[in-house]
Amino acid sequence: MEENEVSFIDQIKTYFNEFINNPEALIGIATKLVLALLIFWIGRRIARWISNLTGKGLAKSGNDPILVNFLKNLVYYVILVVVIITALGQLGVQTTSLIAVMGAAGLAIGLALKDSLSNFASGVMLVMFRPFKLGDIVEVSGVAGKVQEIRIFSTIIKTPDNRELIVPNGLITSDVITNLTSQGNRRIDLVIGVSYDDDIKKAKQIIEDTLNANELVLKDPAVSVFLLELADSSINFAVRPWAKAADYWTVHGQVLEQLKYNLEAGGCSFPYPQQDVHMHQVQ
């Protein structure tokens, strides 16, 4: 700090001494104070007006509500900081030294809250790039569920068994994000095994007819049924129907139940894992 630069506390002492020794100086101080308050009052209203205008413009453009609120608040606080510095300058405060002190304090706080700032930066990335939105079903950082809320430092995820998980944003952006609902449709991957004694052509036809008869199974993309492997105890078919993301588990359960009934009704069987053991008697 330069020698001719007066600190904020020294300025307060100067104003106080001037008031004691010269009461007429109160008029000048009062004038500066009124102007500073006026700048702050008008500036805050302008900041609120610009932030609201920004929010309305982003909302009309069809942006996500999370992004709208975030940018709206960011614009307001940035303008408010400029207004406060301007008001302090009107009072005669050396804003250069104030900004330097705030910068040093910000650096110290940033080092102390390194992880929190990392989560904040990740929250900004989630809001800006939007890999998922509210209501999406996602798999992030080893957990899966529906996105309830995206906060500044964390994301709230609700699991199918009604648990609320608070996941730090830093963990989300540093790992793979799997969005299970963004594409609208999902493929169900099943493996259905039948006995080696069964007619595999008949079994395949029963599987295809069962899938096509289900109203929730999509016709486009078409279902896929093919021989997957000749396993130790069964002949396994890969069964891959498509369904809407919201109907995934409903179709999953219905198809398994219908296949069990229809295959058995058609004369096919579901073999248990087994091994043939041959005993040799030594004379």
pLDDT digit string, tens, across residues 94-143: 666 666 666 666 655 555 555 667 777 888 788 778 888 888 889 998 88
Whether 155 and 194 share a structural domain: no
Distances (CA, A) of 216 to 81, 164, 180, 212: 56, 30, 18, 9
Tell me if 206 is assigned to some domain. Answer: yes
Name the 3-class secondary structure at 245.
helix
Whether 121 is in a domain gets the answer: no
Tell me the CA distances in angstroms from 209 to 7, 159, 254, 255, 265, one per residue in order: 85, 34, 14, 11, 13
To the nearest whole number, what is the mean pLDDT of the chain?
Answer: 81
CA atoms of 37 and 88, how far apart (whole Å): 9
Residue 117 lies in a domain: no
On whether both 190 and 173 belong to a single domain, the answer is no
Query: Is the domain of 39 the same as that of 88?
Result: yes
| Spatial strand order in the sheet of 143-150 | 164-168, 154-158, 143-150, 137-140, 177-179
- Decide if 83 contacts 40 (C-beta within 8 A): yes
* CATH (domain of 73): 1.10.287.1260
| Residue at 118 is within a domain | no
**Is the domain of 21 the same as that of 107?**
yes
Do 172 and 201 fall within a single domain?
no
Last residue of a domain, which of 80, 112, 144? 112
* Residues 108, 26 share a domain: yes
Q: What is the pLDDT of residue 37?
A: 85
- Asked if the structure places residue 69 within a domain, the reply is yes
- Domain coverage including residue 201: 185-265
Q: Are residues 168 and 198 in the same domain?
A: no
pTM above 0.85, yes or no: no
With bands split at pLDDT 50, 70 and 90, how would you rate the model's confidence at 22? Answer: low
Asked whether residue 85 falls in the same domain as residue 65, the answer is: yes
CATH number at residue 135: 2.30.30.60
On whether residue 272 sits in a domain, the answer given is no
- Which residue type sits at 90? Q
pLDDT of residue 9: 65
Same domain, 16 and 79: yes
Residue 237's SS3 state is strand
Q: Are residues 201 and 217 in the same domain?
A: yes
Is 270 a domain residue? Answer: no
Q: Where is mean pLDDT largest: 51-65, 126-140, 205-219? A: 205-219
Q: Give a yes or no: residue 281 inside a domain.
A: no
Q: How confident is the model at residue 237 (pLDDT cuts 50, 70, 90)?
A: very high
Which CATH number belongs to the domain containing residue 214 in this structure?
Answer: 3.30.70.100
Structurally, how many domains does the chain consist of?
A: 3
Residues 87 and 168 placed together within one structural domain of the fold: no
Residues 214 and 172 in one domain: no
Mean pLDDT to the nearest integer, 246-253: 92
